[in-house]
Amino acid sequence: MAVGKLQEYAKVQREKSTKKLVIPIAKEWLLSQWGVSDRDIVHVHPSEMAKKDWCERSTYYRISQNRKIDNDKFNFTLQTIFDEGHQIHDKWQTWLADAGKLWGDWSCRACGEVVKDTLVTDLACYSCDECQQVCPHVWKYEEVALEHGIVTGHEDGAVEDRLVEFKSVGIGTLRHDSPDLLAKFYNKEAKLYDLDGLWAAMKVPLKSHVRQANVYMWLAQSMGGEYARFDSCSIVYEYKPNQQSREYVIPFSEAIVRPLLGRVGAIQSGLASGKPPPCPYGGCKQCQAYEDETPEPRVQRKRFIWRSAGQGENAESAGPRQAHLRDSAPTRRHNRAGGQCSDEPVSASDGLAEVSGNTARAGRGRREAREEPPW
């Protein structure tokens, strides 16, 4: 067991000695689950592509070595922040499901049945083998699974012809993604932030969220079929200090997604040649962690095969040179805590996106979205 984890367990035991009950129980449980993740590590994820400090060299190492180096330490406060964000997602998804408008994948907690690409209102009951009666399913929303080539992810929801991304926004989010904006609303004398002023100033979403939404839209349109209709995305913010919400409508933008796909192409080329792509920052903590630590010898269980469009695939939705993983499937729902942004300082603020007015009707480029990715 890692030294850091032992120290945290020691803290829990000291708290128990003071007759505290609830918090030590919660901490002990979270510690037992720390580092356990079902997150897919052999694909590229939209959430990492959207980060301003994304290092494709680090992603290459993670995929090629089939392992993830995680140097994050257990932090109870940070974990509660992550879990609160998950609960905000669940809340909005429940509302949309109850309204009969939520489209995507579902699994039944009672019988284990899985249904993909449907509205909850279209889901039926099942015949129970135990009681010999027709029983209602207990449906759990599994979001919208998207995959094309080596890029895969789960979008938070889909309503009508629009994808939906939920974001809980607080001081921590702005500290990482828009420190310049945060600094404008800090009162040095009072040592307090103008929280209402910050919320009023956020007329547009953060750039990282716009990038992530565009990758999801590209994935959907690349998949074709029912997914091709998703050429816009609603980014819904819930502001943690006052629980107010705001919705931004983002159209698909090839100009935003194309540079990101170029970096994915560098990873894909590296996986084919065995040569890692260069670090965009000249060597950063993310990729250096893999280079400093020699992986244990292991049998290569996954290999890449190159296949052109038309070889067992829909030629319209497939790119000319896609990399497919053999014996590999994306997880049904990723562990969000496993993909959080690094706390490492960054050189510049990512800031707010340049999105204004009613953008729902602008840039509706389904054909552009299906253009061949630059790899």
Which one, of 337, 333, 338, lies nearest residue 142 by Cα?
333
Specify whether the CB–CB gap between 276 and 57 falls below 8 A: yes
Please name the amino acid found at residue 135. C
- Alpha helix segments (H runs only) across the chain: 3-17, 22-33, 46-49, 56-65, 76-98, 171-177, 179-184, 195-201, 207-223, 254-273, 285-292, 366-369
More confident residue, 311 or 161: 161
What percent of the chain shows pLDDT beyond 70? Answer: 76
Tokens of 69: 């180096």
DSSP H helix total and E strand total for the chain: 12, 15
pLDDT at 189 over 70: yes
Instruction: Give the span between the Cα atoms of 336 and 37, in whole angstroms.
Output: 9
Specify whether the CB–CB gap between 240 and 170 falls below 8 A: yes
Question: What pLDDT is attached to residue 125?
Answer: 75
- Quick check: helix, strand or coil at residue 138? coil
248-271: average pLDDT = 97
Question: What is the tens place of the pLDDT at every residue in 266-298?
Answer: 999 999 999 999 999 999 999 999 998 766 554
More confident residue, 13 or 199: 199
pTM: 0.78
Of 206-210, 295-299, 303-307, give the lowest mean pLDDT range. 303-307
**Architecture field, domain 42-72+85-104+146-369:** Alpha-Beta Complex (3.90)
The three-point CA angle 61-67-73 to 5° equals 105
